[in-house]
Amino acid sequence: MTDLSIVSVETTILDVPLVRPHKFATTSMTAQPLLLVAVRTEGGVTGYGEGVVPGGPWWGGESVETMQAIVEKYLAPVLLGRGVDEITGIMSDIERVVANARFAKAAVDVALHDAWARSLGVPVHTLLGGAFRRGVDVTWALGAAPAEEIIEEALGLVESKRHFSFKLKMGALDPAVDTARVVRIAQALQGKAGVRIDVNARWDRLTALKYVPRLVEGGVELIEQPTPGEQLEVLAELNRLVPVPVMADESVQTPHDALEVARRGAADVIALKTTKCGGLAKSREVVAIAKAAGIACHGATSIEGPIGTAASIHFACAEPGINFGTELFGPLLFSEELLQEPIRYADGQVSLPEGPGLGVELNMDAVKTWTRN
Ligand SMILES: [Mg+2]
Protein backbone atom coordinates (compact mmCIF):
# COMPACT_ATOMS: atom_id res chain seq x y z
CA MET A 1 0.00 0.00 0.00
CA THR A 2 1.13 3.55 -0.69
CA ASP A 3 2.53 5.71 2.12
CA LEU A 4 -0.45 7.31 3.86
CA SER A 5 1.56 9.93 5.82
CA ILE A 6 0.26 13.47 5.40
CA VAL A 7 2.93 15.74 3.92
CA SER A 8 0.89 18.89 3.27
CA VAL A 9 -2.41 20.59 4.06
CA GLU A 10 -3.26 23.45 1.70
CA THR A 11 -6.22 25.81 1.60
CA THR A 12 -7.70 27.93 -1.20
CA ILE A 13 -10.63 30.33 -1.03
CA LEU A 14 -12.95 30.40 -4.06
CA ASP A 15 -15.87 32.71 -4.80
CA VAL A 16 -18.21 30.90 -7.17
CA PRO A 17 -21.05 32.85 -8.86
CA LEU A 18 -24.64 31.62 -8.44
CA VAL A 19 -27.35 31.30 -11.10
CA ARG A 20 -29.48 33.76 -9.10
CA PRO A 21 -29.20 35.57 -5.77
CA HIS A 22 -29.89 33.15 -2.89
CA LYS A 23 -31.83 34.85 -0.14
CA PHE A 24 -31.76 34.15 3.58
CA ALA A 25 -33.67 35.95 6.32
CA THR A 26 -30.78 38.30 7.07
CA THR A 27 -28.63 38.26 3.94
CA SER A 28 -28.57 37.55 0.23
CA MET A 29 -25.65 36.18 -1.76
CA THR A 30 -24.77 36.28 -5.47
CA ALA A 31 -21.59 34.18 -5.11
CA GLN A 32 -20.80 31.44 -2.63
CA PRO A 33 -17.38 31.46 -0.94
CA LEU A 34 -15.79 27.98 -0.58
CA LEU A 35 -12.63 26.95 1.27
CA LEU A 36 -10.94 24.04 -0.50
CA VAL A 37 -8.78 21.97 1.82
CA ALA A 38 -6.27 19.67 0.06
CA VAL A 39 -4.57 16.94 2.11
CA ARG A 40 -1.64 15.34 0.29
CA THR A 41 0.06 12.06 1.25
CA GLU A 42 3.65 10.86 0.88
CA GLY A 43 2.24 8.31 -1.58
CA GLY A 44 1.15 11.14 -3.89
CA VAL A 45 -2.61 11.01 -3.22
CA THR A 46 -4.59 14.23 -2.68
CA GLY A 47 -7.91 14.30 -0.85
CA TYR A 48 -10.22 17.31 -0.88
CA GLY A 49 -12.63 18.71 1.66
CA GLU A 50 -14.72 21.85 1.52
CA GLY A 51 -15.19 24.43 4.24
CA VAL A 52 -18.57 25.97 3.49
CA VAL A 53 -21.21 27.95 5.37
CA PRO A 54 -24.42 29.45 3.93
CA GLY A 55 -23.03 32.71 2.53
CA GLY A 56 -21.23 34.03 5.61
CA PRO A 57 -20.87 34.01 9.38
CA TRP A 58 -24.53 34.90 10.11
CA TRP A 59 -25.53 31.22 10.39
CA GLY A 60 -23.05 29.90 12.94
CA GLY A 61 -20.21 32.39 13.39
CA GLU A 62 -17.79 30.73 10.95
CA SER A 63 -16.77 32.01 7.50
CA VAL A 64 -14.25 30.89 4.86
CA GLU A 65 -11.78 33.37 6.38
CA THR A 66 -12.08 31.99 9.93
CA MET A 67 -11.97 28.41 8.61
CA GLN A 68 -8.80 29.13 6.64
CA ALA A 69 -7.08 30.54 9.73
CA ILE A 70 -8.21 27.62 11.93
CA VAL A 71 -7.18 24.96 9.39
CA GLU A 72 -3.80 26.47 8.54
CA LYS A 73 -2.65 27.56 11.97
CA TYR A 74 -4.23 25.00 14.31
CA LEU A 75 -5.51 21.91 12.48
CA ALA A 76 -2.75 21.36 9.90
CA PRO A 77 -0.05 20.84 12.56
CA VAL A 78 -2.17 18.04 14.10
CA LEU A 79 -2.45 16.33 10.69
CA LEU A 80 1.13 16.57 9.39
CA GLY A 81 3.03 13.30 9.66
CA ARG A 82 -0.06 11.29 10.64
CA GLY A 83 -1.69 8.74 8.33
CA VAL A 84 -4.91 9.60 6.47
CA ASP A 85 -6.31 6.33 7.86
CA GLU A 86 -6.11 7.72 11.42
CA ILE A 87 -9.36 9.72 11.10
CA THR A 88 -10.72 8.80 14.52
CA GLY A 89 -7.48 9.65 16.29
CA ILE A 90 -6.86 12.86 14.37
CA MET A 91 -10.42 14.17 14.83
CA SER A 92 -10.26 13.38 18.53
CA ASP A 93 -6.88 15.13 18.94
CA ILE A 94 -8.25 18.15 17.08
CA GLU A 95 -10.88 18.55 19.82
CA ARG A 96 -8.05 19.26 22.26
CA VAL A 97 -6.73 22.09 20.07
CA VAL A 98 -9.88 23.81 18.74
CA ALA A 99 -13.34 24.03 20.33
CA ASN A 100 -16.47 24.24 18.17
CA ALA A 101 -15.46 25.45 14.63
CA ARG A 102 -17.32 22.43 13.27
CA PHE A 103 -17.55 23.68 9.68
CA ALA A 104 -13.72 23.94 9.56
CA LYS A 105 -13.33 20.49 11.12
CA ALA A 106 -15.77 19.03 8.57
CA ALA A 107 -13.53 20.20 5.72
CA VAL A 108 -10.60 18.32 7.26
CA ASP A 109 -12.67 15.21 8.05
CA VAL A 110 -13.90 15.00 4.44
CA ALA A 111 -10.41 15.58 2.98
CA LEU A 112 -9.11 12.70 5.15
CA HIS A 113 -11.93 10.40 4.00
CA ASP A 114 -11.30 11.33 0.34
CA ALA A 115 -7.52 10.81 0.62
CA TRP A 116 -7.83 7.49 2.47
CA ALA A 117 -10.46 6.13 0.09
CA ARG A 118 -8.38 7.19 -2.94
CA SER A 119 -5.31 5.52 -1.44
CA LEU A 120 -7.32 2.31 -1.14
CA GLY A 121 -8.90 2.76 -4.59
CA VAL A 122 -12.43 2.61 -3.10
CA PRO A 123 -15.31 5.13 -2.87
CA VAL A 124 -15.82 7.12 0.36
CA HIS A 125 -19.10 5.28 1.01
CA THR A 126 -17.09 2.06 1.40
CA LEU A 127 -15.38 3.63 4.43
CA LEU A 128 -18.87 4.36 5.81
CA GLY A 129 -20.03 0.75 5.54
CA GLY A 130 -21.07 0.75 1.87
CA ALA A 131 -23.86 2.32 -0.15
CA PHE A 132 -27.31 0.85 0.41
CA ARG A 133 -28.83 3.17 -2.20
CA ARG A 134 -27.47 4.88 -5.31
CA GLY A 135 -29.43 8.12 -5.24
CA VAL A 136 -31.50 10.35 -2.96
CA ASP A 137 -34.47 12.69 -3.46
CA VAL A 138 -33.57 16.37 -3.76
CA THR A 139 -35.74 19.33 -2.76
CA TRP A 140 -35.05 22.61 -4.62
CA ALA A 141 -34.85 26.01 -2.92
CA LEU A 142 -37.06 28.53 -4.68
CA GLY A 143 -35.93 32.15 -4.81
CA ALA A 144 -37.35 35.41 -3.50
CA ALA A 145 -38.94 36.56 -6.78
CA PRO A 146 -42.68 37.51 -6.92
CA ALA A 147 -45.07 34.56 -6.32
CA GLU A 148 -46.14 34.26 -9.98
CA GLU A 149 -42.53 33.83 -11.17
CA ILE A 150 -41.81 31.32 -8.40
CA ILE A 151 -44.89 29.26 -9.29
CA GLU A 152 -43.84 29.23 -12.94
CA GLU A 153 -40.29 28.12 -12.03
CA ALA A 154 -41.60 25.35 -9.76
CA LEU A 155 -44.09 24.04 -12.32
CA GLY A 156 -41.32 24.01 -14.95
CA LEU A 157 -39.09 21.95 -12.68
CA VAL A 158 -41.92 19.49 -11.94
CA GLU A 159 -42.64 19.25 -15.67
CA SER A 160 -38.98 18.50 -16.47
CA LYS A 161 -38.98 15.99 -13.55
CA ARG A 162 -35.95 17.64 -11.91
CA HIS A 163 -37.65 18.25 -8.54
CA PHE A 164 -40.94 17.31 -6.87
CA SER A 165 -40.51 19.20 -3.63
CA PHE A 166 -39.63 22.82 -2.91
CA LYS A 167 -38.35 24.89 -0.02
CA LEU A 168 -39.01 28.58 0.51
CA LYS A 169 -36.96 30.81 2.78
CA MET A 170 -38.93 33.06 5.13
CA GLY A 171 -38.11 35.62 7.78
CA ALA A 172 -36.87 38.55 5.67
CA LEU A 173 -40.31 40.14 5.06
CA ASP A 174 -43.13 41.24 7.33
CA PRO A 175 -44.55 37.90 8.60
CA ALA A 176 -48.10 38.58 7.31
CA VAL A 177 -46.83 39.46 3.81
CA ASP A 178 -44.34 36.58 3.89
CA THR A 179 -47.05 34.09 4.95
CA ALA A 180 -49.51 35.27 2.29
CA ARG A 181 -46.81 34.86 -0.40
CA VAL A 182 -45.91 31.34 0.70
CA VAL A 183 -49.55 30.21 1.01
CA ARG A 184 -50.24 31.52 -2.51
CA ILE A 185 -47.35 29.40 -3.83
CA ALA A 186 -48.32 26.33 -1.75
CA GLN A 187 -51.92 26.50 -3.04
CA ALA A 188 -50.78 26.79 -6.65
CA LEU A 189 -48.55 23.72 -6.27
CA GLN A 190 -51.01 21.65 -4.21
CA GLY A 191 -51.27 18.10 -5.54
CA LYS A 192 -48.30 18.68 -7.87
CA ALA A 193 -45.36 19.22 -5.50
CA GLY A 194 -44.65 19.60 -1.81
CA VAL A 195 -43.82 23.02 -0.32
CA ARG A 196 -41.79 23.45 2.87
CA ILE A 197 -40.46 26.56 4.57
CA ASP A 198 -37.36 27.58 6.54
CA VAL A 199 -37.46 30.68 8.74
CA ASN A 200 -33.81 30.31 9.81
CA ALA A 201 -34.70 30.95 13.46
CA ARG A 202 -35.89 34.52 12.81
CA TRP A 203 -39.40 34.52 14.37
CA ASP A 204 -40.06 35.00 18.06
CA ARG A 205 -42.49 32.69 19.86
CA LEU A 206 -45.62 34.82 19.45
CA THR A 207 -44.99 35.44 15.75
CA ALA A 208 -44.47 31.72 15.19
CA LEU A 209 -47.60 30.78 17.20
CA LYS A 210 -49.61 33.13 14.98
CA TYR A 211 -48.22 32.32 11.55
CA VAL A 212 -47.05 28.68 11.63
CA PRO A 213 -50.66 27.35 11.89
CA ARG A 214 -51.67 29.60 8.96
CA LEU A 215 -48.85 28.18 6.86
CA VAL A 216 -49.93 24.63 7.69
CA GLU A 217 -53.59 25.40 6.87
CA GLY A 218 -52.33 26.89 3.61
CA GLY A 219 -50.74 23.59 2.60
CA VAL A 220 -47.12 23.87 3.77
CA GLU A 221 -45.95 20.31 4.49
CA LEU A 222 -42.93 20.95 6.76
CA ILE A 223 -41.84 23.80 9.04
CA GLU A 224 -38.09 24.26 9.46
CA GLN A 225 -36.62 26.11 12.44
CA PRO A 226 -39.14 28.94 12.86
CA THR A 227 -37.71 30.11 16.20
CA PRO A 228 -34.26 30.59 17.80
CA GLY A 229 -32.09 27.48 17.90
CA GLU A 230 -31.53 27.43 21.66
CA GLN A 231 -35.27 27.79 22.50
CA LEU A 232 -36.11 24.09 22.43
CA GLU A 233 -39.21 24.52 24.60
CA VAL A 234 -40.68 26.88 21.98
CA LEU A 235 -39.89 24.46 19.17
CA ALA A 236 -41.50 21.66 21.19
CA GLU A 237 -44.62 23.80 21.73
CA LEU A 238 -44.91 24.43 17.98
CA ASN A 239 -44.28 20.76 17.24
CA ARG A 240 -47.22 19.81 19.46
CA LEU A 241 -49.39 22.55 17.94
CA VAL A 242 -49.27 21.62 14.24
CA PRO A 243 -49.99 18.28 12.54
CA VAL A 244 -47.11 18.52 10.00
CA PRO A 245 -43.47 17.80 10.89
CA VAL A 246 -41.33 20.49 12.50
CA MET A 247 -37.66 20.27 11.49
CA ALA A 248 -34.76 21.37 13.70
CA ASP A 249 -31.73 22.85 11.94
CA GLU A 250 -30.01 25.62 13.94
CA SER A 251 -31.07 23.68 17.10
CA VAL A 252 -28.92 20.63 16.27
CA GLN A 253 -25.18 20.82 15.70
CA THR A 254 -23.85 18.20 18.12
CA PRO A 255 -24.96 14.71 19.21
CA HIS A 256 -25.94 16.22 22.54
CA ASP A 257 -28.17 18.78 20.78
CA ALA A 258 -29.90 15.84 19.08
CA LEU A 259 -30.35 14.17 22.46
CA GLU A 260 -32.01 17.32 23.86
CA VAL A 261 -34.35 17.63 20.87
CA ALA A 262 -35.34 13.98 21.35
CA ARG A 263 -35.83 14.37 25.09
CA ARG A 264 -38.12 17.38 24.68
CA GLY A 265 -39.98 16.16 21.59
CA ALA A 266 -38.92 19.42 19.95
CA ALA A 267 -38.85 18.14 16.35
CA ASP A 268 -39.98 15.23 14.15
CA VAL A 269 -37.11 15.73 11.71
CA ILE A 270 -33.50 16.88 12.08
CA ALA A 271 -31.77 18.76 9.23
CA LEU A 272 -28.47 16.88 9.10
CA LYS A 273 -25.65 18.88 7.54
CA THR A 274 -22.34 17.02 7.41
CA THR A 275 -20.72 20.49 7.56
CA LYS A 276 -22.35 21.92 10.69
CA CYS A 277 -21.87 18.60 12.53
CA GLY A 278 -18.08 18.64 11.99
CA GLY A 279 -17.79 15.93 9.33
CA LEU A 280 -18.94 12.44 8.41
CA ALA A 281 -17.91 10.70 11.62
CA LYS A 282 -19.76 13.17 13.90
CA SER A 283 -22.77 13.17 11.59
CA ARG A 284 -23.17 9.44 12.19
CA GLU A 285 -23.37 10.08 15.94
CA VAL A 286 -26.16 12.64 15.44
CA VAL A 287 -28.08 10.27 13.15
CA ALA A 288 -27.65 7.39 15.60
CA ILE A 289 -29.42 9.39 18.32
CA ALA A 290 -32.18 10.46 15.94
CA LYS A 291 -32.73 6.84 14.87
CA ALA A 292 -32.95 5.63 18.44
CA ALA A 293 -35.49 8.36 19.22
CA GLY A 294 -37.66 7.76 16.14
CA ILE A 295 -36.70 11.13 14.66
CA ALA A 296 -36.23 11.31 10.89
CA CYS A 297 -33.20 13.02 9.30
CA HIS A 298 -33.13 15.20 6.20
CA GLY A 299 -29.87 15.49 4.23
CA ALA A 300 -29.52 19.26 4.44
CA THR A 301 -27.04 21.64 2.77
CA SER A 302 -25.05 24.72 3.70
CA ILE A 303 -24.98 25.53 -0.06
CA GLU A 304 -22.05 23.22 -0.55
CA GLY A 305 -20.04 23.19 -3.75
CA PRO A 306 -19.33 19.93 -5.58
CA ILE A 307 -16.86 18.52 -3.02
CA GLY A 308 -19.07 19.18 0.01
CA THR A 309 -22.15 17.99 -1.87
CA ALA A 310 -20.42 14.78 -2.99
CA ALA A 311 -19.42 14.09 0.62
CA SER A 312 -23.00 14.63 1.79
CA ILE A 313 -24.32 12.33 -0.99
CA HIS A 314 -21.91 9.54 0.05
CA PHE A 315 -23.11 10.00 3.63
CA ALA A 316 -26.81 10.00 2.68
CA CYS A 317 -26.39 6.91 0.48
CA ALA A 318 -24.49 5.00 3.20
CA GLU A 319 -26.68 6.03 6.15
CA PRO A 320 -30.22 4.59 6.33
CA GLY A 321 -31.07 7.21 8.97
CA ILE A 322 -31.16 9.91 6.26
CA ASN A 323 -34.75 8.91 5.62
CA PHE A 324 -36.49 12.21 4.92
CA GLY A 325 -35.00 13.19 1.54
CA THR A 326 -32.30 15.79 0.96
CA GLU A 327 -31.71 19.30 -0.31
CA LEU A 328 -28.29 18.51 -1.77
CA PHE A 329 -28.86 20.87 -4.70
CA GLY A 330 -25.76 23.07 -4.10
CA PRO A 331 -24.04 22.54 -7.49
CA LEU A 332 -27.29 23.38 -9.34
CA LEU A 333 -27.24 26.83 -7.74
CA PHE A 334 -23.70 27.52 -9.00
CA SER A 335 -23.48 29.07 -12.46
CA GLU A 336 -19.94 27.73 -12.96
CA GLU A 337 -18.99 24.02 -13.06
CA LEU A 338 -15.96 23.16 -10.92
CA LEU A 339 -15.86 19.46 -11.85
CA GLN A 340 -14.60 17.63 -14.91
CA GLU A 341 -17.86 15.62 -14.86
CA PRO A 342 -20.85 17.29 -13.18
CA ILE A 343 -22.80 15.55 -10.42
CA ARG A 344 -25.94 14.00 -11.99
CA TYR A 345 -29.43 15.26 -11.17
CA ALA A 346 -32.48 13.64 -12.79
CA ASP A 347 -35.98 12.36 -11.94
CA GLY A 348 -36.10 14.25 -8.64
CA GLN A 349 -32.88 12.61 -7.44
CA VAL A 350 -29.12 13.10 -7.30
CA SER A 351 -26.95 10.07 -8.11
CA LEU A 352 -24.12 8.77 -5.98
CA PRO A 353 -20.90 9.68 -7.83
CA GLU A 354 -18.91 6.61 -8.94
CA GLY A 355 -15.15 6.18 -8.65
CA PRO A 356 -12.49 6.33 -5.95
CA GLY A 357 -12.72 8.80 -3.06
CA LEU A 358 -15.61 11.22 -3.39
CA GLY A 359 -15.98 10.10 -7.02
CA VAL A 360 -15.64 13.64 -8.37
CA GLU A 361 -12.62 15.28 -10.03
CA LEU A 362 -12.02 19.03 -9.85
CA ASN A 363 -11.36 20.97 -13.05
CA MET A 364 -8.26 22.83 -11.87
CA ASP A 365 -8.63 25.54 -14.55
CA ALA A 366 -12.08 26.37 -13.18
CA VAL A 367 -10.71 26.30 -9.63
CA LYS A 368 -8.00 28.77 -10.66
CA THR A 369 -10.54 31.04 -12.37
CA TRP A 370 -12.65 31.38 -9.22
CA THR A 371 -9.82 31.53 -6.68
CA ARG A 372 -9.96 34.70 -4.59
CA ASN A 373 -6.95 36.97 -5.16
MG1 LIG B 1 -32.16 25.61 7.57
- Ligand 1 centroid to residue 128 C-alpha, Å: 25
Q: Domain segments of the chain: what residues? A: 6-123+364-369, 127-351
Å from CA of 225 to ligand 1 middle: 7
Beta-carbon count within 10 A of 344 CB? 12
Which of the following is catalytic: 23, 169, 276, 282? 169
Cα of 119 to ligand 1 centre, how many Å?
35
Expressed in angstroms and rounded, the spacing between residue 54 Cα and the centre of ligand 1 is 9
Q: Is 327 a catalytic residue?
A: yes
pLDDT at residue 1 is higher than 80:
no
pLDDT at 26: 79
Average predicted confidence (pLDDT) for the chain:
96
pLDDT of 242 over the 80 cut? yes
Alpha carbons 79 and 149: distance in angstroms, whole number? 49
| CATH code of the region 6-123+364-369 | 3.30.390.10
Flag whether pLDDT at 211 surpasses 70.
yes
pLDDT of 24 higher than 90: no
Contact between 9 and 27 under an 8 Å Cβ cutoff? The reply is no
Confidence of residue 364 (pLDDT cuts 50, 70, 90): very high
Confidence of residue 153 (pLDDT cuts 50, 70, 90): very high
CATH superfamily, domain 127-351, is: Enolase-like C-terminal domain (3.20.20.120)
> In this model, does residue 225 exceed pLDDT 90?
yes
In the structure, what pLDDT confidence band is assigned to residue 23 with cuts at 50, 70 and 90?
Answer: confident
Q: How far is the CA of 78 from the centre of ligand 1 (A)?
A: 32
Are both 6-123+364-369 and 127-351 of the same fold?
no
Beta strands in the chain (DSSP E): 6-23, 28-41, 46-51, 135-137, 140-142, 165-169, 194-198, 222-224, 246-248, 269-272, 296-299, 345-346, 349-351
Instruction: Reply yes or no on whether 336 is catalytic.
Output: no
> What confidence score (pLDDT) does residue 145 get?
83
Catalytic residue among 224, 304, 319, 327: 327
Q: Across residues 181-196, what is the average pLDDT?
A: 96
Label residues 110-136 b or e (16+ Cβ within 10 Å = b). Answer: bbbbbbbbbbbeebbbebbeebeeebb
pTM of the model: 0.97
Q: What is the whole-number distance in angstroms between the Cα of residue 291 and the centre of ligand 1?
A: 20
Q: Is the pLDDT of residue 43 over 90?
A: yes
